[in-house]
Structures are given as structure tokens and as C-alpha cells.
């Protein structure tokens, strides 16, 4: 196929760049207005600020308790993802290597949960969570993310492990390695590519998740960034200068993460999409 | 011999049971209780839980707010599924060509997707309520003069617009991966045979990316049905409940009105409808896929 760069391509390229700029405009507007005074936003939301002042950010940083909510989001995301990776890779390992009726039932049973919308189990979940003292604390919500994250992670690991030749594991067993040794020293290193994919997909989801924290985390000390933004935004509904500074603070960590991990995120999305 | 068998079983359960227990506690137990709730009547407080048989199921069909949110959700899913796929595919086709800025542009189009939908909703509330009036001032275009969030038909399109902005890049990424799987020899051979651009698209490219189309439709339908954060942050279901999604409606019914059992029934119906639609979609499309 002739795929030369000609004037048609140039026009198309210019159009795509213009569209790309239009795509970024909302983020740009949020960013520049976060530095303005309230009245300045109302009179000229599209112009650059007269003075890039940081006072909105200082106010929001303190009132939203940004360091605390950032730490909560980070702890919840990291521990949830680590648990999801560990539990689902361990289960997938035995389900693949010990096939049989039991393994099939477990695998298909967990898999079928992927079609249940969260809203369907949300109401009783809250009651189960109350019974097990999982409301309003980080271990509680992390345990819930483990549960909700396992189906997709198990599915992805299951497919990947099936493609890993069993010979290496057998050789290690011959050499006297225990099942745990095989799992930690042989299998887990081989699983790195799919582990990265699963870690990234689940990190994005958990970091941005709102509804679960909204129903199980009420006290201020355990709130996450999306939840704290929602509450803050509700209190300062029309105080756009503060709301926009809060949004900017909320967006920066995840955009930085994306720009650093871009390649893996795109790969992860592509690999994760195959679950359909 | 039996000892090794016991040992193997023990190892098996050590590895498998954490996942199974978590699944049972967090997903299965609440799901089963939701089904049981849907046949009960309970205010969430009293110790007296009544069995009511199918009456919740018949009640909800006369619940006009529920039916309204159902109808809104179906419309939202239909329009947004179509648009995010068509636009995502178009972006993928163009950014699969040899453009100089294609890598930067892929990043730009995908970027909104990493931001949480709740924040996205607030960002656009700002754009629509504060920036649109200014655009109207410069351009004089009537469409930007009205506040989109205070008229039902405009609010619907505001949600669609934001969802397209948020999702198009995501679908683009999946379609690009599919397009890269098509062998260039095949396309070259077709070109030598004198196949024109549209024939190439309809008879070669589209059939070969059918697998990706199946996946993307599935993803768009399921995520569309579950829309909650965006809906809450952008319109709160308003004006006049005209944009209340099913997920938002169920949430409000359960936690604002304390209708646990009725809301559970609505959620079970939600699950059945979503399951049926996605099953039909995937099954119907899988049958026609081309294996290469």
C-alpha cells in the first residue's frame, strides 16, 4: 500500500491537530482559571489570569486536607492492587495447573460475576460490610476492592498462564523446589508483562472510583481524592475559583502518572479489552 | 499415596481459597441477598422483614420515575455507543496513517480517559455554565446562549458530548490495535487488484476488525448502562429527572428514600436486562466474525 506523505495527509494532519487542541481546551481552561480571583472567572473565563496567584490552591490544599486524602487514595490503590495481583495470580496458577471439574466451576463462577453491575449488589454489600466492620476504615474498603478486582485479574492471569510452558516449573520441582518456590521464583517473574497490565488497569479504576468510597467512607479521615472533591465541590458549589483549584489538584497526579506510564497504559487497555 | 493426594489438595486450597473467599464474601453473598431482598419488603431498620413474593416486580412497572430512567438510559446507551464507536474508529483510521504527529495526537485524544468521571463531570459543568456563555458572546451562536444543563433535551446532549470527549480516545486505542493486526500484504494485494478506498473499507478492513467491534460495542453498552459518576456530577439527573440514569435512580431510591427492597428489585431487573442485551450482542456478532 502506498502510504506517502502528500498534501492530503498534510491537510488531514492539520485538521487532527486542531481537533486535538479543541480536545485539550477543557483541561486548559480548568487549569488557567484555577489561578484567578472569583470575579475574574465570571467576567473572562477564557483569558489568561491577570496574575498567576496561588492563593486558591493554598486554601483548597488546607480545607480539602489534600495531603491526607492523597495519602488515603495512594494507600487504598496500592494495597488493593497488590492484593488483587497476589490472590488472583495464586488462584489462576492452581486453576490452570490442576485442571478438573472443581477448577472449571471456580473459574467460570468467578468469571460470570463480571456481568453483575455494581448497583445490583451495592445495597446488601453495605449490610455485609456493616456486619464485618468494614465501614469507614481503609482495611474494609481495600478488602472490597480485592473482591471486586479478582474476576478480571483472574481471567487475565488464567489466559496468560495457559500460554506459559510447564517445563520450567517441572524442572524446578525436580530440583527440589516447593510449590511456593515455583510460584514465587519461577512463575511470578514470567508473569511480569500481564502483571503490569493488570496493575495499571486496576490502579486507574481504583484511584478514580467514586461510588464505593461514597457509600462506605463517611468520616473525613479516610476519604479519597474523588470523594473529597465531591464533598468540597458540593460545599462551594458556585465558588468556581476554589472548585477549579480542587479539580486541578485532583487531576494532576493521575495525568502525571499517565504521561509517565503511557506505553504500559495503552498496552494494558488493549490487552484488558480482550475480556469481551 | 493418599498422603501426597491430601498434600496436593491442601496446596490447591491454599492458593485458590483467598480468591474464592473474597469472591464469596464481596460479590456472591451480596448478590444472593439482593435476589432475596427483591422478594421482601423491609424499611432497613425494623426487625420484621416481610415476604411479598413478586409484588415488588409488579410495583416497579408502575413506578414512572423508574420507567423514565430506564428509557433515558436506553436512549443514552444507544446514542453514545454509536457515537463513541464511530468517532473512535475514525480517529483510529486517521492515526494509523503515517502522520508526523500521530503519537502525540494519540496521547492527546486518550488523555481525558485517565481522569475520573466524577471530576470530568465537574470540569464540564464549569465549561458549560461559565465558558459557553462567553462563546455565545463572541460568535452570536444561539446554541451556546442557553444553559445546556437547565433544559432536558440539551442536558441529554451535554452528557453525550462529555462521554464522547471522555471515551472516544479509549475506543480509538482498541481500534488502532486491531488495525495494526491487518497485514499490509493483504491491503497491497487488494490495491493491485484495483480495489478502491470504500471497497477496501467495507470488504476488507471492517470484516477484519469485527472482533474489535464486538468488544468495543460490549464495552460501550455496559459502561453506558452503568453511568453514574458523570451523571451525578454533571446534571444530578436533572432538570426534572429527565437525565436520571438507572444507576443513579437505584442509588437514590436505596439511600435517599431508604427503599432497600424495592431498589434491590430494580437492580435485579437492571442486571437481567444488561445481561440479556450484552449476551445477544456478543452472540450475534461472534457468529459473523472472520478468523484470519
Q: Is the pLDDT of residue A75 over 50?
A: yes
- Closest CB from B27, B165, B225 relative to A113: B27
Residue A4 pLDDT: 73
Whose cell is 479509549? That residue is B170
pLDDT at A125 > cutoff 60: yes
- Closest partner residue to B108 (CB to CB) among A20, A95, A209 is A20
Query: How crowded is the C-beta side of A10, counted as CA atoms within 13 Å?
Result: 3
Instruction: Compute the nearest-CA separation of A202 from chain B (Å).
Output: 12
**Phi/psi at B193 (5° precision):** -75, 0
Rounded to a whole number of angstroms, the CA Rg of chain A reads 24
Distance from CA of B179 to the nearest CA of A (A): 12
Three-class DSSP category at B51 = strand
* Most B-contacting residue of A119, A173, A205 (CB-CB within 10 A), to test interface: A119
Number of Cβ atoms within 10 Å of the Cβ of A14: 11
Question: pLDDT confidence of A1, banded at 50, 70, 90?
Answer: very low
Q: What is the pLDDT of residue B291?
A: 55
Measure CB to CB from residue B126 to each of A106, A244, A255 and give the nearest one.
A244
Rounded-to-integer distance, Cα A19 and Cα B143, Å = 20
Answer yes or no: is pLDDT of A56 > 50.
yes
- The answer to whether A87 contacts B30, with C-beta atoms less than 8 Å apart, is no
Please answer yes or no on whether A116 and B100 come within 8 Å at the CB atom.
no
In this prediction, residue A3 carries a pLDDT of: 64
Q: How far is A129 from chain B (nearest CA, A)?
A: 9
Given this model, what pLDDT does residue B2 score? 61
Residues of chain B with pLDDT under 70: 1-3, 289-292
| Most confident segment among A40-49, A232-241, B171-180 | B171-180
**Structural domains of chain A, ranges and CATH numbers in brackets:** 63-274 (1.10.3720.10)
Chain A residue closest in CA terms to B167: A23
Q: Which residues of A touch B108 (CB under 8 A)?
A: 20, 23-24
- Nearest C-alpha of chain A: how many angstroms from B276? 10
Query: DSSP readout, B1-43?
Result: -HHHHHHHHHHHHHHHHHHHHHHIIIIIHHHHHHHHHTTEE--
Residue A276 and residue B16: Cβ atoms within 8 Å?
A: no
Cβ within 8 Å of residue B89, ≥6 positions away: B171, B172, B175
Taking each helix axis from N to C end, the angle separating A118-131 and A138-162, rounded to the nearest 10 degrees, works out to 130
pLDDT greater than 70 at residue A259:
yes
Secondary structure class of B50 (helix, strand, coil): strand
Q: Does the distance separating the beta carbons of B251 and A26 come in below 8 Å?
A: no
Rounded to the nearest angstrom, the minimum Cα separation between A10 and chain B is 8
- For cell 516447593, name the residue: A178
CB contact under 8 A, B131 and A45: yes
Give the HSE-up count for residue B37: Cα atoms under 13 Å, Cβ half-sphere.
28
Structure confidence at residue A246 (pLDDT):
92
Nearest-5° angle of CA B230, CA B232, CA B237?
Answer: 110
Kindly report the backbone phi and psi dihedral angles of residue A265, in degrees, each rounded to the nearest multiple of 5, phi listed first.
-65, -45
- Nearest CB partner across the interface for B215, out of A207, A209, A274: A274
Mutation for B interface: A5, A30, A38, A123, most B CBs within 10 A: A123
The span from the first CA to the last CA of chain A, in angstroms, equals 31
Is A275 a residue whose pLDDT tops 60?
A: no
Contacts of B127 in chain A (CB under 8 A): 26, 29
**What integer pLDDT is reported at residue B287 of this predicted model?**
79
Among the listed residues A70, A210, A237, A86, the one whose alpha carbon sits nearest the alpha carbon of residue B130? A237
Q: For chain A, give the percent of residues with pLDDT over 70.
A: 97
- Map out the domains of chain B as residue ranges: 63-287
Q: Strand B40-41 to strand B50-51: parallel, antiparallel, or no bridges (unpaired)?
A: antiparallel
Q: CA dihedral defined by B87, B89, B92, B98, rounded to 10 degrees?
A: -100
Q: How far is A259 from chain B (nearest CA, A)?
A: 8
Candidate from B37, B126, B264 with C-beta closest to A240: B126
Task: Give the Cβ contact number of residue B197 at 10 Å.
Answer: 8
Residues in Cβ contact with A143 at an 8 Å cutoff, skipping those fewer than 6 apart: A134, B22, B25, B26
**How do residues A137-167 score in pLDDT, each as one tens digit?**
999 999 999 999 999 999 999 999 999 999 9
pLDDT higher than threshold 80 for residue A272: no
> Cell triple for residue B53?
413474593
- Closest by CA to B165, choosing from B95, B84, B221, is B84
CATH topology of domain B63-287: MetI-like fold (1.10.3720)
Rounded to the nearest 5°, which phi and psi values hold at A54? Answer: -95, 5
Residue A213 contacts residue A134 (beta carbons within 8 Å): no
Residue among A93, A208, A258 minimizing CB distance to B15: A93
Q: Is the pLDDT of residue A276 over 50?
A: no
Amino acid at each position: 500500500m502506498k502510504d506517502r506523505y502528500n498534501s492530503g495527509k498534510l491537510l488531514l494532519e492539520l485538521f487532527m491537530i486542531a481537533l486535538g487542541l479543541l480536545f485539550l481546551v477543557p483541561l486548559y481552561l480548568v487549569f488557567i482559571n484555577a489561578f484567578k480571583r472569583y470575579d475574574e472567572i465570571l467576567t473572562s473565563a477564557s483569558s489568561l489570569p491577570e496574575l498567576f496567584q496561588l492563593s486558591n490552591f493554598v486554601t483548597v490544599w488546607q480545607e480539602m486536607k489534600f495531603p491526607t486524602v492523597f495519602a488515603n487514595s495512594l494507600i487504598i490503590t496500592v494495597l488493593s492492587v497488590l492484593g488483587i495481583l497476589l490472590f488472583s495470580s495464586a488462584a489462576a496458577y492452581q486453576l490452570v495447573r490442576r485442571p478438573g471439574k472443581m477448577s472449571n466451576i471456580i473459574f467460570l463462577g468467578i468469571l460470570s460475576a463480571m456481568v453483575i453491575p455494581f448497583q445490583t449488589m451495592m445495597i446488601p454489600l453495605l449490610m455485609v460490610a456493616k456486619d464485618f466492620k468494614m465501614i469507614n476504615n481503609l482495611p474494609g474498603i481495600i478488602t472490597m476492592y480485592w473482591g471486586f478486582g479478582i474476576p478480571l485479574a483472574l481471567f487475565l492471569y488464567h489466559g496468560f498462564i495457559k500460554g506459559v510452558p510447564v517445563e520450567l516449573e517441572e524442572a524446578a520441582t525436580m530440583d527440589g523446589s516447593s510449590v511456593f518456590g515455583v510460584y514465587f521464583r519461577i512463575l511470578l517473574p514470567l508473569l511480569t508483562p500481564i502483571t503490569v497490565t493488570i496493575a495499571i488497569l486496576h490502579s486507574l479504576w481504583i484511584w478514580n472510583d467514586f461510588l464505593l468510597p461514597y457509600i462506605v467512607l463517611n468520616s473525613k479521615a479516610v476519604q479519597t481524592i474523588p470523594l473529597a472533591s465531591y464533598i468540597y465541590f458540593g460545599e462551594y458549589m458556585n465558588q468556581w475559583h476554589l472548585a477549579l483549584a480542587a479539580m486541578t489538584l485532583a487531576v494532576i497526579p493521575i495525568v502525571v502518572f499517565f504521561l509517565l506510564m503511557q506505553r504500559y497504559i495503552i498496552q494494558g487497555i488493549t490487552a484488558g479489552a480482550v475480556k469481551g | 499415596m493418599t498422603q501426597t493426594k491430601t498434600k496436593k489438595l491442601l496446596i490447591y486450597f491454599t492458593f485458590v481459597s483467598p480468591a474464592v473467599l473474597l469472591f464469596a464474601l464481596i460479590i456472591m453473598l451480596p448478590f444472593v441477598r439482593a435476589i432475596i431482598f427483591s422478594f421482601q419488603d423491609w424499611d432497613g431498620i425494623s426487625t420484621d422483614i416481610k415476604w411479598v413474593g413478586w409484588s415488588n416486580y409488579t410495583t416497579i412497572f408502575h413506578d414512572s420515575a423508574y420507567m423514565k430512567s430506564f428509557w433515558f438510559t436506553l436512549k443514552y446507551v444507544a446514542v453514545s455507543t454509536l457515537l463513541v464507536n464511530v468517532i473512535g474508529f475514525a480517529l483510529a483510521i486517521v492515526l494509523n496513517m503515517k502522520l508526523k504527529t500521530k503519537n502525540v495526537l494519540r496521547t492527546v485524544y486518550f488523555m481525558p480517559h485517565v481522569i475520573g468521571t466524577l471530576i470530568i463531570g465537574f470540569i464540564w459543568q464549569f465549561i458549560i455554565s461559565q465558558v459557553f456563555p462567553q462563546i455565545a458572546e463572541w460568535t452570536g451562536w444561539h446554541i451556546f446562549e442557553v444553559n445546556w444543563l437547565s433544559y432536558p433535551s440539551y442536558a441529554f446532549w451535554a452528557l453525550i458530548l462529555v462521554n464522547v470527549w471522555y471515551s472516544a480516545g479509549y475506543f480509538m486505542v482498541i481500534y488502532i490495535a486491531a488495525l495494526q493486526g491487518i497485514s499490509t500484504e493483504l491491503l497491497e494485494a487488494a490495491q493491485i487488484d484495483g480495489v478502491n478506498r470504500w471497497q477496501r473499507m467495507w470488504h476488507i478492513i471492517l470484516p477484519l476488525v469485527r472482533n474489535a467491534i464486538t468488544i468495543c460495542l460490549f464495552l460501550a453498552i455496559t459502561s453506558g448502562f452503568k453511568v453514574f459518576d458523570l451523571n451525578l456530577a454533571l446534571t444530578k439527573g436533572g432538570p426534572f429527572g429527565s437525565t436520571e440514569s438507572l444507576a443513579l435512580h437505584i442509588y437514590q431510591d436505596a439511600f435517599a428514600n431508604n427503599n432497600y427492597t424495592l431498589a434491590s428489585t430494580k437492580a435485579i431487573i437492571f442486571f437481567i436486562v444488561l445481561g440479556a442485551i450484552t449476551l445477544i450482542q456478543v452472540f450475534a456478532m461472534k457468529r459473523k466474525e472472520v478468523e484470519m
